Amino acid sequence: MSRRVFSAEPIATDSVVTIADAEAHHLLHVLRVAAGDELTLFDGQGGEFAGAVAGKSRSTVDVQVGQRLPVDRELPFALTLATPLPKGDRTRWLVEKAVEMGVKRLVPLRTQRTEPSANKGSDKLQRYVIEASKQCGRNRLMEIAAPLMWPEWLETAAAERRWIAHPGGQSLAEMDLQRATSTALALGPEGGFTDAEVAEAATAGWTVVGLGARILRIETAAIALCAAATWR
């Protein structure tokens, strides 16, 4: 796979697309591209395009767009992950891994024990999504939804399979994980879900799942849960 470049503008075959901002900076000052260098372009809407550097300025790179390649690296079903965002760099890590695992939509969640400062600005999160998509080859960007309060999330999460992770929940090893189907996942904050929140979810038809005897940090639990939901 040649170097992958994200275009914020929609890409069309046989056009010239101008890459600007962070992507151009990376091409110009890190990769030091030259005219004729081959690239793979994607605009986050699906598919990818062959391209070659056609020209550059101090802050932009023009790329001649070639053939569209219908490459699809998405999961065969919609996977939504709702989670309070952890502190500092751990959010970046969580977003990266969620992209790699194929999450379609990440919902920053506010629960009773979520710390008020725990949710980050959306521009930064979007940049993490783009970087992870470049690395793992996804051609559709994971959506980062607006933050939702726990009751709103329970009301609006529409999926055939809905799992809330809570210590002591039903062991995933005992569950039938054979059928991949639209799935909504919910994780609690560092302080955990309250008993009332878990009861609300169970009443609304969510399955309370356990991830083993050890208490995992949010981002570790996110990977474990996504892996269980996607392994077949």
Q: Which residues bind ligand SAM (CB under 6 A)?
A: 165-167, 169, 187-188, 190, 192-193, 210-212, 214-218, 221
Task: Judge contact between 41 and 49, C-beta under 8 A.
Answer: yes
CA distances from 80 to 83, 89, 103, 185 (A): 10, 22, 6, 6
Taking 3-state DSSP, the helix, strand and coil percentages for the chain, each rounded to the nearest 5, stand at: 30, 30, 40
CB of 87 to ligand SAM, least distance (A): 12
CB of 193 to ligand SAM, least distance (A): 5
State which residue, 135 or 170, has the beta carbon closest to ligand SAM: 170
Element housing 123 (H / E): helix 122-136
CB of 170 to ligand SAM, least distance (A): 10
Task: Judge contact between 218 and 106, C-beta under 8 A.
Answer: no
CB of 187 to ligand SAM, least distance (A): 4
CB of 121 to ligand SAM, least distance (A): 23
State which residue, 64 or 194, has the beta carbon closest to ligand SAM: 194
State which residue, 6 or 193, has the beta carbon closest to ligand SAM: 193
State which residue, 39 or 81, has the beta carbon closest to ligand SAM: 81
What one-character-per-residue DSSP string does 158-211 give? --SEEEEEEEEEEEGGGS---S---EEEE---TT---HHHHHHHHHTT-EEEE-
Q: Which tokens sit at 164? A: 């809330």
State which residue, 73 or 87, has the beta carbon closest to ligand SAM: 87
Q: Which tokens sit at 123? A: 């521009």
